[in-house]
Amino acid sequence: MNLKEIKELIALMNENELMELEIERDGMKIRLRKSVSGKIETIAEGHVVPKVAQVVSQEQKVSEPAKPEQNLTAIKAPMVGTFYRSANPDAKPYAEIGQVVEIGQVVCIIEAMKLMNEIKSEVKGKVVEILVENARSVEYGQALFMIEPYAG
């Protein structure tokens, strides 16, 4: 990975308002994290045997650049585990983009220690974004969905 590529990664982070980015490629791994002051620092870099499951966290911004008046709420993971969009591989996902969810409606599963935990929405609104891919690991507090809340 050369300096030009690293600079491109930093630009990518800033554009997408990411706090942390980890890339693994061709046996090389680099992790960049934005500190509180906004400066980006390299946390870890090195050769590694390719493996699955990096954990990437994303800063939640209240307003997206395109729609400054939009007021989005995140549904965050209440536990550590593996995120699944549907009850089983053959079932339909619990929530799709554009779908309206009610308070208490199941939006996904987080599996931990072989137990499937139904995760329920705490707001009523429209699913605007799904932030985690199916079968990826999530940590406590990680944002899973962005919801545009509906009043009432």
Binding site for another protein (CB under 8 A): 36, 43-44, 51, 53-55, 57, 79-82, 112-113, 137, 139-142
Give CA torsion, residues 48, 51, 52, 57, to 10 deg.
-20
In the bound state with another protein, the residue whose beta carbon lies nearer, of 140 and 150, is 140
For the bound state, the minimum distance from the C-beta of residue 108 to another protein, rounded and expressed in Å, comes to 15
For the bound state, the minimum distance from the C-beta of residue 30 to another protein, rounded and expressed in Å, comes to 12
Beta sheet of 40-47, edge-to-edge order: 20-25, 28-34, 40-47
In the bound state with another protein, the residue whose beta carbon lies nearer, of 4 and 51, is 51
In the bound state with another protein, the residue whose beta carbon lies nearer, of 35 and 63, is 35
For the bound state, the minimum distance from the C-beta of residue 9 to another protein, rounded and expressed in Å, comes to 19
Name residues whose C-beta falls within 8 Å of residue 36's C-beta, 6 or more positions apart in sequence.
none
- Yes or no: say if 126 and 99 are a contact pair by the CB < 8 Å rule: yes
